[in-house]
A and B are shown apart, each in its own frame.
Chain A
Amino acid sequence: MDFDFTPQEEAFRQELRSWLETNLPAEYNPETFEQLNEDKRFEIQLKWQKKLSAASWVGIHWPKEYGGRGATVIEQTIYQQEMARVRAPGVANPLGISIVGPTLMHWGTEEQKKRYVPKILSAEEIWCQGYSEPGSGSDFASLQTRAVEDGDYFVVNGQKVWTSYAHKAHRCILVVRSDPHAPKHKGLSYLLVDMKSPGITVRPLVQITGDAEFNEVFFEDVRVPKANLVGEKNQGWQVAVTTLMFERANFGIVYQLEPMLRRLGELAKRLRLNGHTAAEDPAVRQKLAQFHLETQAIKYNGFRQLTRQLRGDPPGPEGSIGKLAASELNLRLVHFAVELLGPYSQMALGETHGLDGGYWSRRALASRLYTIAGGTSEVMRNIVGDRVLGLPKG
Chain B
Amino acid sequence: MNFGFTEDQEALRDATRKFLDNECPTTFVRKMMADETAHATELWKKIAELGWLGIIVPEEFGGSGGSFLDLVVILEEEGKSLLPGPFFATALLGTTAILAGGSAAQKSAILPKVAEGNHILTLALAEKSGRYDAAGVTLAAKPKGNDFVLSGEKLFVPDAHVADQLIVAARTAQGGSPEDGITLFLVDAKAPGVTITQLKTVDMTRRQCHVALQDVAVANAQVVGEVGKGWPILRRVLEQAMAGLCAEMVGTGQKALDMAVTYAKERVQFGKPIGSFQAVKHKCVDMMVQVENARSLTYYAAWTVDENGSEAAQAVPMAKAYCSDMCKTVTSEAIQVHGGIGFTWEHDMHLFYRRGLASEAAFGSAPVHREIVAQTLNL
Question: Which positions in A face B, CB cutoff 8 Å?
Answer: 1-6, 9, 74, 265, 268-269, 279, 282, 285-286, 288-290, 292-294, 296-298, 300-301, 303-304, 306-308, 310-311, 317-318, 321, 324-325, 378, 381-382, 384-386, 388-394
Contacts and interface: CB of A to CB of B under 8 A. Distances in A.
Contacts of A282: 371
B190 interface: no
Contacts, number: 156
Contact of B288 (A74, A311, A321, A393): A321
Given A294-B293, A308-B4, A391 B377 contact: no
B299 A286 contact: no
A28 to B, nearest CB: 29
Where chain A touches its partner, the secondary structure class is helix
Contacts of B184: none
Interface in B277-298: 277-278, 280-282, 284-286, 288-289, 292-297
Nearest to A299: B296
Contacts of A292: 318, 373, 377
Chain B interface helix/strand/loop/mixed: helix
Contact of A1 (B280, B285, B289, B303): B303
Contacts of B295: 304, 318
A303 B296 contact: yes
Interface stretch (B44-52, B126-134, B165-173, B268-276): B268-276
B265 A300 contact: no
A285 B370 contact: yes
Interface residues of B, number: 44
B379 A265 contact: yes
A286 B374 contact: yes
Give the residue among A9, A285, A386 with the most B Cβ atoms within 10 A: A285
Given A293-B322, A325-B289, A378-B282, A300 B379 contact: no
25 contacts: A1-B69, A1-B303, A2-B1, A282-B371, A285-B371, A288-B379, A289-B371, A289-B373, A292-B318, A294-B293, A297-B293, A300-B3, A306-B3, A310-B1, A318-B296, A382-B278, A382-B282, A385-B278, A385-B282, A389-B281, A391-B273, A392-B275, A392-B276, A394-B272, A394-B276
Interface string B347-375: 00000000000000000000100110110
A307 B2 CA distance: 6
A285 B4 contact: no
A300 B300 contact: yes
Nearest to B273: A392
B4 A288 contact: no
A385 B260 CA distance: 12
A393 B367 CA distance: 38
A358 B177 CA distance: 44
B370 A286 contact: yes
A304 B293 CA distance: 11
